[in-house]
Structure 1
Amino acid sequence: MRKLIIPLFSLALTVSCGTAKVSDGKTVSRSEASAGSVDKAFLSAYKTIKAEDLKKNLYVIASEEMEGRDTGSPGQKKAGVYMVNYYKNLGIPYPKALGSYYQKVPADFMRERGGSNLPDSENILAFIEGTEKPDEIVVVSAHYDHVGTKNGVVYNGADDDGSGTVAVMQIAKAFQAAKKAGHGPKRSILFLHVTGEEHGLFGSEYYSSHPVFPLANTVVDLNIDMIGRDDPENRGKQYVYVIGSEMLSSELKVINEAANKKTNNLELNYKYDDPNDPQRLYYRSDHYNFAKNNVPVAFFFDGIHEDYHKPTDDPEKIDYPLLEKRTQLVFTTAWDIANRPERITVDKK
């Protein structure tokens, strides 16, 4: 993050009338059979989000080899190659309109906004096209840059924002599993890894001013920035801060809370859910560049802990079971938004 300077969803389906037999011989309507099939697909996909997989990827993303992933650095580019290969291996493509997994963020763009001496960098985009409403886009985002190496010491950024990076990767895997089972999302999902967050939210600002998909068609941004630790105020609790979920849409907070109750029932903490909060967290991560363009957002966050922006933010300090639960919450929220009959409304300013 930028420093300040399981019961299942019942989805509405369009199905033919009539009845169908299920394995126990009971006769049910085709709509009931179809809904049950979707529920099974959701549960199967949900279960692919595992602590051990999050840990495996994070030990790479936040390794010494990545040299702290400073914007445009060789270490960040190595992390990017790992991420792109991950998506290729899963069979998740890049957006056709982009022609690559990489969206270049030019040095000149960052320099004009105060990012002096930064080289060219890249956002990384992977994409699953919707089956029924492909032009409506659900964005799941996280920044994959960190603050690099200082005085020969690597700042690994395991929580900030390695945790969000691997969560997005795992959520993509879950959606791809559902797609392979014949239940791909109705709306398209963009998995957006942005650069330059630590220097000024540059990657998300570049995307919002050069969107691959029109922002008018962007339904929501679920942004994940630090979800692998706890802060002193919540030590040992099963919680997550949620910021911004009712700023633009009265529906988004309700959807997220329902997703939480039907899965891990974490404590949803709204302490920072106020633009006037002294920490100003609503403005300090990449969701803000969507919110200021009238796209509903929810920002998932674990708080300011003792290793924030220090070289001690290492992968062995991550609470992987809690990271799993938080990732599952974001996936479940995204699943509902992607598959509900109508897109969520923007009814607040």
Structure 2
Amino acid sequence: MHKILLFAALGTIFSCSVQKDQSVSKANVETYGNTITSAELKEHLYTYASDEFQGRDTGEPGQKLAVEYLKNEYVKLNIPSPLGGDNYFQHIPSSFFNDKFKDSENVVAFIEGSEFPEEIVIISAHLDHVGMSDDGEIYNGADDDGSGTVAMLEMAEAFQKAVKDGFSPRRSILFLHVTGEEKGLLGSKYYTENPIFPLANTVTDLNTDMIGRIDPAHEGKADYIYLIGSDKLSTDLHNISEEMNSKYVNLDLDYTYNDENDPNRFYYRSDHYNFAKHNIPVIFYFNGTHADYHKPSDTPDKIEYDLLTKRTKLIFYTAWEVANRDERLVVDKAN
């Protein structure tokens, strides 16, 4: 009798597990990808890159407005903080910045995985920009990195709509908005030195830094995005990225800056690199530089919103696949 009950219990557990697998496999991912719209991206960005936010300089009043905006958006979406309660901020003391900058904070939100909750997929972007000039001219940073920031909000909304429909991701997703990127990748450095979740459990970091514009090399050409780092550590990640693009988006994936001999060395110049240093597979999504880079003229009216939407969808579909596949990404290369 005890054996019969044991087998019955194991059967129930197995059945529940299979149902979870089947549940998410039945989700139409495009239903959720299509909730990412140019209208919503534009609405977010015209606020986030407005003069009110004063260029979002690390530790300054405009940056404090920015983190409150992000927190409030996650509260509206009913996506909790991994830190518990109403605390969405990973506080970074000025001493970490060698007292060169004021206290600042990363913003974090979290969707727990249904089957592999200890495995963490990170989606990141930097929330800061360079602030104001001495004479009060505002550097709005619409592309750098307002574009990546609002893309994250739209992806979070898409994932959360899936959760509400009963399609929770199998792995957990951490939405990580880092501060101090413009000061030397400091917010992501702080996170990797003080991780909320063990780095050993971190599956990937999909990092978005400037995805709203077209650079001079692509004027008049097909829709594109530069991908950097996708094949550096994990063949799995690179192949998934290529597959999701072919299946859903069909952007021109440009690997020019992925070349190890690229003189720009962009692979080392955004927040993903602090994860790659720990052998965590990464993709850096980037549109290249343009005439308004780090100038007051980087404003939301110059963003290509339809293209920003396509790029955001690519990242979402890639994150969805990584979060829901049977096996964790294999790290088959090393730094």
TM-score normalized by the length of structure 1: 0.88
Q: Is the 8 A contact 2:23 2:166 kept in 1?
A: no
Q: Pick from 289, 296, 303: which aligns with 1:318?
A: 303
Which piece of structure 1 moves more, 178-187 or 88-97? 88-97
Tell me which amino acid in the other structure corresponds to 1:203: G
Q: Deviations over 1:110-145 (max 9, x none)?
A: 12xxxx531000000000000000000000000010
Question: What's 2:131 paired with?
Answer: 148
Tell me which amino acid in the other structure corresponds to 2:115: E
1:175 deviates by 0.4
1:277 deviates by 1.3
Question: What's 1:37 paired with?
Answer: 26
Stretches of structure 1 that go unaligned for 5 or more consecutive residues are 1-13, 18-29
1:314 deviates by 0.1
Q: Deviations over 1:43-100 (max 9, x none)?
A: 2211110000000000111000000000011001101111100000110000046972
Question: What's 2:146 paired with?
Answer: 162
Tell me which amino acid in the other structure corresponds to 1:46: G
Question: What's 1:304 paired with?
Answer: 289
Work out the CA distance in 2 between the residues paired with 1:319 and 1:72. Answer: 29
Tell me if 1:108 matches 2:91: no
Tell me if 1:330 matches 2:315: yes
* Residues matched between the structures, number: 318
Stretches of structure 2 that go unaligned for 5 or more consecutive residues are 1-12
Tell me if 1:215 matches 2:199: yes
Q: Pick from 92, 95, 105: which aligns with 1:122?
A: 105
Q: Secondary structure at the match of 2:249?
A: coil
Question: What's 1:138 paired with?
Answer: 121
1:34 deviates by 5.0
Work out the CA distance in 2 between the residues paired with 1:127 and 1:283. Answer: 27
Identity of aligned residues (%): 57
Work out the CA distance in 1 between the residues paired with 2:109 and 2:311. Answer: 21
Q: Deviations over 1:248-280 (max 9, x none)?
A: 111111000101011110000000003431001
Higher helix share: 2
Work out the CA distance in 2 between the residues paired with 1:82 and 1:36. Answer: 34
Work out the CA distance in 2 between the residues paired with 1:16 and 1:137. Answer: 25
Work out the CA distance in 1 between the residues paired with 2:100 and 2:199. Answer: 30
Residue pairs, 1:1-349, within 5 angstroms: 37-38=26-27, 40=28, 42-96=29-83, 100-111=87-98, 117-150=100-133, 151-236=135-220, 237-349=222-334
Q: Is the 8 A contact 1:229 1:319 kept in 2?
A: yes
Which piece of structure 1 moves more, 266-275 or 186-195? 266-275
Q: Secondary structure at the match of 1:53?
A: helix
With over 3 angstroms needed to count, the CA separation of the structure-2 counterparts of 1:181 and 1:15, relative to structure 1, is farther
